[in-house]
Amino acid sequence: MIRFLLRFVGLWVLAGGFVALVVDGTRSIASSDLVMTPLGEAWFAAGPGSLARFQSLVETRLSPVVWEYAAVPLLMAPLAAVLGVAGLLLILLGRSPTDR
């Protein structure tokens, strides 16, 4: 049951990455320049309060250094790439032992 759930969620996350890739591609064609939406920008547009809470959580529970050197580069990464990698990892984690 857990493997099915991992594959199911992974497929949806991968589909979200593909949608983000299509949106960025459309914006790139329209502007005649390469446009890639960062994860942080998309997260801020979806819920700015949750991004601020995540920052305070990382800085208080872990360290401001972790925020600066781990979280910020991840938030600057293209949304399509982050969702694509996360979706693929979830799908791979959901594989059955006989598939390996």
pLDDT tens string 13-23: 999 999 999 99
Task: Say whether 96 sits in a helix, a strand or coil.
Answer: coil
Instruction: Determine whether 99 is exposed, middle or buried from the number of CB atoms within 10 Å of its CB (0-12, 13-18, 19+).
Output: exposed
How much is the pTM?
0.86
Question: What band does 97 get if pLDDT is binned at 50, 70 and 90?
Answer: confident
Q: Express each pLDDT in 40-96 by its tens digit.
A: 999 999 998 999 999 999 999 998 999 999 999 999 999 999 999 999 999 999 988
d(CA 21, CA 16): 9
Q: Residue 98: its pLDDT value, please? A: 78
